[in-house]
Homo-oligomer: A and B are copies of this chain.
Amino acid sequence: MVTIKQIAELCGVSRGTVDRVLNKRGNVKPEKEKLIVEMAKKLNYRPNPAGKALAARKKHPVVGVLIASEGVHFFDDMLTTMHHAAERFSSYGMEVIWRSMKGFDAAEQCRIIDELKDKISGLIINPVNDQQVIDKINECVDNGMFVVTINNDVESSRRHCYVGSDYLQGGRTAGALLKMICPTTLKAGVLLGSLNMLGHNQRLEGFQEVMHNHPDFTLLGVAETADDDLQAYEAARSLIADNPEINAIFVVSSGGYGAARAIQAVGREDITIVAFDTIPSTIDMMKKGLIKAALYQHPHQQGRRAMQLMFDYLVNGSLPEKNAYIMRNEIRILENVAD
């Protein structure tokens, strides 16, 4: 509750001087600086965000949001919440520019960043795992942009913060759940988006790790789906045809709907499907009893957090407390999946 004004009075200087010290703008005599810093610490000075926000309005910060969301329904909830947050923040003078893309083309993503970069002071991005993109992100950071990666991290970049889910934990949780709800003998197939996606691999890793001490577990096969329900459908049909003994399918990313349609098509509703993300098509299949459980990686929280980090930095001038914000994987079954 102590203010700059109070510190100024106590130190016998003006507010401007205190401000210069606290915001490290230099041009203050070292002895005064020391006095002010110590006084601020002693009184536990915390800047008032309301005052900061008000003063920040003159800056009109603009944020770019770039997500490879087209055709991937997982991002729908995340974007809904981000739009909601953007509207809330708009009254503080923060503006958002929205961009989307389809698929994981690094060159395309770099092109869009280039198009945005001189318009924005902050970027929220779902980055493609590619050196070209990493370089581009570093370039942005070097030019003073605040960068938050979301749902997929590129650790080797100098992005300020990452918001996403715990992929390894997701795989472990799915595996452990399957062990709980399946018969003792577990013969499972895995459908995953892409072996090039770090997160998908980590989920698979967690899954296998948990299965390691299972008395009778067989991994029948791993098929890629490109997060496409049609490909998932075909892959599931092949898995079943090639391995009639299959009794479980683990869908590592999108594609749960396709897998469910497949077991229905071949009359193998006895197969237990555990999938990721509670998108509408997955919920439909849960209602039909074809998908037993889905793991939820808090898309709303991810979106809200990313926008909040942007706001806190651009409007309130405060850096993230953590380098990464990792969401828990929740287990959803029919009874607790509905809104």
Contacts and interface: CB of A to CB of B under 8 A. Distances in A.
Interface of A: 1, 46-51, 53-54, 57, 90-93, 169, 172-173, 175-177, 180-181, 210, 292, 328-336
Contacts of A93: 1
Contact of A335 (B47, B172, B334): B172
Contacts of A181: 180-181
B48 A91 contact: yes
Contacts of A173: 333, 335-336
A292 B331 CA distance: 13
A53 B329 CA distance: 36
B53 A50 contact: yes
A2 to B, nearest CB: 10
23 contacts: A46-B91, A48-B54, A49-B53, A49-B92, A50-B51, A50-B53, A50-B92, A169-B335, A172-B335, A172-B336, A173-B333, A173-B335, A173-B336, A175-B335, A177-B333, A180-B292, A328-B336, A330-B330, A330-B331, A330-B332, A331-B331, A331-B332, A331-B333
Contacts of A329: 336
Given A173-B335, A333-B177, A335-B172, A91 B49 contact: yes
A181 B176 CA distance: 11
Given A172-B335, A175-B335, A331-B332, 15 more contacts: A1-B91, A48-B92, A49-B50, A50-B50, A50-B51, A50-B92, A54-B54, A172-B336, A176-B335, A177-B333, A180-B180, A180-B333, A328-B336, A329-B336, A331-B331
A152 to B, nearest CB: 20
Contacts of A90: 1, 46
Nearest to A315: B50
A90 B49 CA distance: 11
A48 to B, nearest CB: 5
Contacts of A54: 48, 50-51, 54
Contact of A330 (B1, B49, B169, B336): B336
Contacts of A53: 49-50
Interface centre among A51, A180, A336 (most CB of B within 10 A): A336
A49 B48 CA distance: 13
B176 A333 contact: yes
Interface centre among A49, A57, A90, A91 (most CB of B within 10 A): A91
A163 to B, nearest CB: 17
Smallest CB-CB A-B distances: 5 pairs: A50-B53, A331-B331, A173-B336, A173-B335, A176-B335
A337 to B, nearest CB: 9
Contacts of A177: 333, 335
A257 to B, nearest CB: 21
Contacts of A175: 335
A180 to B, nearest CB: 4
A330 B294 CA distance: 12
